[in-house]
Copies of this chain bind each other. A is one copy, B any other.
């Protein structure tokens, strides 16, 4: 079969009812987390002879639904999905698992639809980084939160609250501000936080992710204040830019590549029939201490 002729995989797929293709749906492509995750996914998929079809939902619910539809039509062997914001309607996720197409969420999960979820322990990580702030004497805390329709939005907020509760700190409602996942949202949310009355104006802020934290830092600086002296800021992801910005960012390192690998491995297991049941796969994180939280690693 060396001759100038390439066998038609799609005819093959039709008869075998197998495409050796997995669909990957992501809400974002430029945030460095996702390229890294894709690299991990591709790594294990490629070794197992599978290929990736990439769908970019662009944080758009409708596009996400269409993407799933398209992937079903293309008869992918399985789907890897990181949920876009505002996923109010879960029926189409449920339909995917009902139809029997293996589905695993990564990073941004939808619970209760019977699919596996591969993520960090968002709540526990949020507790840890918040307690780190508290242990450094901060008591006026705020959270720049993600959308409440997405697992990481809910769970990071919940961890933040839990840490406060455990340490007897009350968090006023105005101190939880939805910022979304981007720099602009972080900037706007921080501005709002800074305009709070002095009694509740935060001295330390936990942002839902690094881009939001970048925006928050900028807002602090634009207000003529300093990070961390006036306001401490921490994030989530360990974005590629986190160590490089004017005030290097303390953050929770999220092992994107590893997350991608694990998600793909679990999906392949499902596809190949071993391990039928959904799981919760948690990968551990570490806090990366830099300057933005008022703790100087060098002084340790």
| Chain A positions near chain B (C-beta within 8 angstroms) | 4, 6-11, 13-14, 19, 21, 24, 29-30, 32, 34-36, 38-39, 42, 46, 51-56, 63, 69-70, 72-75, 95, 99, 240-241, 244-245
Contact pick for A244, options B11, B38, B51, B244, CB 8 Å:
B244
Given the contacts A14-B11, A14-B14, A35-B30, A56 and B42 also touching, CB distance less than 8 Å: yes
A/B interface sample: 10 pairs, CB < 8 A:
A8-B73, A9-B73, A10-B13, A29-B38, A29-B39, A35-B35, A38-B54, A42-B56, A241-B241, A244-B244
Copies in the complex: 2
What is the distance, in angstroms, from A50's C-beta to the closest C-beta of chain B? 10
Residue in B closest to A8 when the chains form the complex, CB atoms: B75
One of B8, B39, B73, B241 near A56 (C-beta < 8 A): B39
For the complex, what is the distance from the CA of A59 to the CA of B34, rounded to whole Å? Answer: 19
Is there an interface contact between B73 and A6, defined as CB atoms closer than 8 Å? yes
Chain B residues with Cβ below 8 Å from A21 are: 53, 74
Q: Tell me which of B4, B9, B34, B46 contacts A74 (CB under 8 A).
A: B9
Cα(A70)–Cα(B75), bound, Å: 17
Known: A21-B74, A29-B39; 4 extra A-B contacts, CB below 8 A, are A6-B99, A8-B14, A42-B56, A241-B244
A13 contacts across to B, CB distance below 8 A = 10
CB atoms of B10 and A75 under 8 A apart: yes
A73 to B9, CA, bound (A): 5
Query: Which residue from B9, B35, B95, B99 sits with its C-beta under 8 Å from A29?
Result: B35
A1 to chain B, nearest CB (A): 11
Assembly CA distance A241 to B248 (angstroms):
13
Nearest CB on B from A67, distance (A): 9
**Cα distance, A106 to B99, chains bound together (Å):** 39
Chain B residues within 8 Å of A19, by CB: 10
Instruction: Name the B residues within 8 Å of A36 (CB-CB).
Output: 29-30
Measured in the bound complex, the distance between the Cα atoms of B36 and A24 in whole Å is 17
**Is there an interface contact between A53 and B56, defined as CB atoms closer than 8 Å?**
no
CB nearest to A56 among chain B residues: B42
